[in-house]
Chains A and B, each alone.
Chain A
Amino acid sequence: MDVEILSRIQFAFTVAFHFLFPPLTIGLGLNLVVMSALWLKTRNPLYHNMARFWTRIFGLIFAIGVATGIVMEFEFGTNWATYSRFVGDVFGSPLAIEGIYAFFLESGFLAILLFGWDKVGPKTHFFATCMVSLGAHFSAIWILVANSWMQTPAGFHLAKKVKVTPDGVEHPYSAQLEPGTFELKEVALPDGYILQTEDLDSIRAVITDFWEMVFNPSSMDRLAHTIIACWITGTFLVISISAYYLLKRRHIPFAKASMKIGLTIGTIAVLLQLWSADSTARGVSENQPVKLAAIEGLAESTTEAPLGIVGMVTWDKDEEGTIIGINEHSIKVKGLLSILVSGDFLNPVEASKTEVKGLNQLPPDEFLLARYPGATPEELKKIRPEYWPNVPVVFQTYHIMIACGMALIGISLLGCFMWMTGKLWQLDWKLTRWFLVILVFSVFLPQIANQAGWFTAEMGRQPWVVYEHLKTSQGLSEAVRAGQVLFSLILFAAIYFLLFLVFIFTLNNKIQHGPSDDITGKNLPERWRAIMMKGGRQTES
């Protein structure tokens, strides 16, 4: 295998593993804020107990999130050095801002959240909880801004570095001049300049407008979509563990109260997600039509475009094995995709006449002709598939995400219904027990949806690393060989596998141990005040 595929596997693997944890902490953090607020308001020791228990779970997940997160930041440099050089001027700033404004906030207040129970007053502790949650959200925001810029680049232009000698003559960047006899200058290139591989030594993306970069066309949609997904992920952990306790008839008041909070946040979030998903998909249709055609497996441009529910897409290849198109077999609803793309749900008949571009027309001829001037229509047809993502995979990951999302909506609404009718607490009733079993396993649904959605977004972007500017294959490190990547990949696989086993073992330990049910004087507000008077020293309990 070559460096490109190995580096892609490594990046995908390390991101996917890391991406199991931050959504949990972001969502769990939100739940912690609600629980702490309830404790602060009611002073009911039950809420205090809840906050403490869920904080312990939070701490465990957070630690692995941090440990695996550092990897991501350095992998841009280690495996994608050419990419890093090309985009550093634009892409580095959100990462640096994430460090200064999110990580410090998160980790600083995390100390108070985890270890500060007896050191600071309840209000300060609540404040720390809010700050940790805020930091986690900031972190997601900046990383998604950076990622969205790769999907829909904005606020920059391409610039060529040249060497200028004192007599004003511009030499190419590759010219061998005596050090000190020239100055570096960047010459802006015209819009629509098409990057050649040999340009990569001297051409890079240069920022022109920071806020335009931040609010690039896909930022807000993708932010909303991902953050709501995080809320759902963390909340369903709360729901799942609470359902487990209810099934086992352990810590029942605790589990009931946690379940109520979880179901409330979860239901609101899944419904919000429905709205956000629609907006995100519409954004994709506008900014990345190739991606939309790929995720829906749409071959020909058409009006009344159908929406696939479940099915299969395969490559259509000629005798030599070159891809010439796709074969699509799926159960679909005619016209629904057109309606979704137009966004005009009130006039469905009118809306279904919206044309949706298919892969056989995408990317459009002008795009290809700019890269291959004078190509004949037959040649264009042959070249076109090189600009498609891996359609069979993207189609499936997208539909897995949608299926998980729909299942989550169903489960949440049913859960709320059973809660409202009181059936959810009738632990002897067989149907309730079945539903609780479903709730226990529902924790996997948001995780699967997250991973599938992430793969859809990132694989749907291929073959580009910076959409329609830099190809993934052009972004690799020139100094790195396949053997080195293979070595690191094998180590990652081994270490992450071990980590995951230990994580599951430890998480299970914590769940089995459960919350401490003793609601004693220790947790009462008077006690807090007494400890506050003692200043910084911890006291033996």
Chain B
Amino acid sequence: MDLNTIWFILVGVLFTGYVMLDGFDLGVGALHLFTKGDTERRTMLNAIGPVWDGNEVWLVTGGGALFAAFPEVYATVFSGFYEAFFLLLFGLIFRAVAIEFRSKHPHSMWRKGWDISFACGSIASAFLIGVAMGNVVWGIPLDTNHEYTGTFLTQLNPYSLFMGVSTVALFAMHGNIYLIMKTEGELQEKLRRWVKITIPIFVVCFLIFGILTPFVCPQIKAAFIDRPIPLIITFTLALLVVANIPREIHKGREFNAFLSSCGCMTFLMMTFGISVYPNMVFSNPDLANSLTIYNGSSTDKTLGFMLIIAIIGVPIVLTYTACVYYIFRGKVVLTDESY
């Protein structure tokens, strides 16, 4: 395996880490307005309170790794998706400060305002992440210098928009399961009822998506013909873990349900990675201008050096991330320090 492929996987791991972790707190945001009453909302916020900030770091680090390893891809995607990325950033800013500010003042208008900001910011972020992913699969118009030649409207194709909706559904389900795990009593009962809605919505999106993609995206169809076995394996695994979620919820094993949901994201990202490899961004309509892990990468020297950095750093990161989750395990209890 060459360095470029290793970095393709590593960047993939970072972004998978991001959707898995920030996925649930964006999902909590998506569900936030459906709860009523200050205590319930506070409980939801405090369920993600100690960890949301760390979760978002996965995005920052993923972005940094993309810059270092695939600068051409970083430059093309971010300048090409200009409006979408700024809307995403505004979404992330609003939800981040909403979490912090909401608790600082008891006034009901104040809290309501930040509740709306938190929910809208979360939903918009999730949606835009999905739209961006959709465009990467669908392809965006690039010229021979890999410069984006489309407009904002080019990115709003039905395929990508549907991917956006599916992402919101996925995150909402993921967040819902996480919340069941972190709450107790009446709120938990309510969340258990919601999961009967959030899971089916996602499953429908997922199925439509899985069936549709090979038919509407010629490049994915080609990948399917080229390497069917790994793709079928990862897709089937994704399907199996999704099917496992309602079962675990029904048996009251929320932690397993949450793991299944994480597994679902991992397998989906793997399917995504295998079907686009070795491309990173498809050029549509002219496939010859696509950005691959070879024409978009840094030199082997940088990739090699960065690999050493990552090999030392990532285990340390995983260790204390695990520690933090361990320390803050168990049900949410509101205290002085809570939001």
Q: Which residues of A line the B interface, CB within 8 A?
A: 59-60, 63-64, 66-71, 73-74, 76-79, 81-82, 84-85, 87-93, 95-101, 103-105, 107-112, 114-120, 159, 174, 176, 179, 184, 186, 201, 206-208, 210, 477-480, 484, 487-488, 491, 495, 499, 502, 506, 509-510, 536-541
Contact = CB atoms under 8 A, between A and B. Distances in A.
Interface string B56-68: 1101111111011
Contacts of B93: 67-68, 70-71, 495, 499
19 contacts: A63-B96, A84-B71, A84-B74, A85-B75, A92-B69, A95-B64, A95-B67, A96-B64, A96-B67, A97-B313, A107-B56, A110-B53, A115-B328, A116-B327, A479-B79, A495-B90, A536-B326, A536-B330, A540-B335
A109 B320 contact: yes
A98 to B, nearest CB: 7
B75 A73 contact: no
Contact of B320 (A90, A108, A541): A108
Given A92-B64, A92-B69, 9 more contacts: A66-B96, A70-B59, A73-B63, A77-B63, A92-B67, A93-B309, A96-B309, A115-B49, A477-B82
B323 to A, nearest CB: 8
Contacts of A91: 67
B208 interface: no
B212 interface: no
A71 B89 contact: yes
A179 B92 contact: no
B302 A93 contact: yes
A107 B317 CA distance: 11
Given A95-B64, A96-B64, A538-B333, A88 B71 contact: yes
6 tightest CB-CB pairs across the interface, nearest first?
A88-B71, A77-B78, A99-B61, A92-B68, A111-B50, A477-B79
A108 B324 contact: yes
Interface in B245-295: 288, 294-295
B301 interface: yes
Contact of B321 (A60, A81, A104): A104
A74 to B, nearest CB: 6
Nearest to A106: B57
Nearest to B59: A70
A206 B299 contact: yes
B145 A73 contact: no
Contacts of B144: 174, 176
Contacts of B101: 502, 506
B329 A536 contact: yes
Nearest to B318: A104
B275 to A, nearest CB: 19
B326 A78 contact: no
A163 to B, nearest CB: 10
Contacts of A488: 82-83, 86
Given A174-B144, A506-B104, A117 B320 contact: no
Contacts of B72: 85, 88
A63 B104 contact: no
B295 A184 contact: yes
Contact of B105 (A76, A110, A506): A506
A210 B305 contact: yes
Contacts of B74: 76-77, 84, 88, 92
A32 to B, nearest CB: 15
Contact of A478 (B49, B147, B320): B147
B100 A60 contact: yes
Interface of B: 49-51, 53-54, 56-57, 59-65, 67-72, 74-80, 82-83, 85-86, 89-90, 92-94, 96-97, 99-101, 104-105, 144-145, 147-149, 288, 294-295, 298-299, 301-302, 305-306, 309-310, 313-314, 317, 320-321, 323-324, 326-333, 335-338
Contacts of B65: 96, 99
A207 B105 CA distance: 51
Contacts of A93: 68, 302, 305-306, 309
B299 A59 contact: no
Nearest to A77: B78
Contacts of B338: 115
Contacts of B83: 484, 487-488
A64 B100 CA distance: 9
A77 B67 contact: yes
B299 A537 contact: no
Given A70-B59, A74-B89, A78-B85, A118 B335 contact: yes
A381 B332 CA distance: 71
Given A92-B298, A206-B299, A506-B104, A76 B82 contact: no
A523 to B, nearest CB: 12
A103 B335 CA distance: 27
A104 B317 CA distance: 6
A208 B101 CA distance: 46
A96 B328 contact: no
Contact of B309 (A100, A201, A477): A100
B326 to A, nearest CB: 7
Interface centre among B57, B323, B330 (most CB of A within 10 A): B57
A96 B324 CA distance: 22
Contacts of A70: 56, 59-60, 89, 92-93
Nearest to A494: B90
A89 B302 contact: yes
A98 B60 CA distance: 9
B82 A107 contact: no
Q: Which of B144, B336, B337 has the largest count of A CB atoms less than 10 A from its CB? A: B337
A92 B96 contact: no
Contacts of B306: 93, 96
A78 B82 contact: yes
B295 A82 contact: no
A179 B283 CA distance: 13
B337 A105 contact: no
Given A73-B63, A81-B79, A480-B82, A66 B53 contact: yes
A96 B72 CA distance: 15
B67 A84 contact: yes
A88 B86 CA distance: 21
B310 A100 contact: yes
B79 A79 contact: yes
A74 B49 CA distance: 25
A139 to B, nearest CB: 10
Given A88-B298, A491-B86, A538-B335, A66 B54 contact: no
A480 B151 CA distance: 9
A101 B313 contact: yes
A81 B61 contact: no
A538 B47 CA distance: 12
Nearest to B148: A479
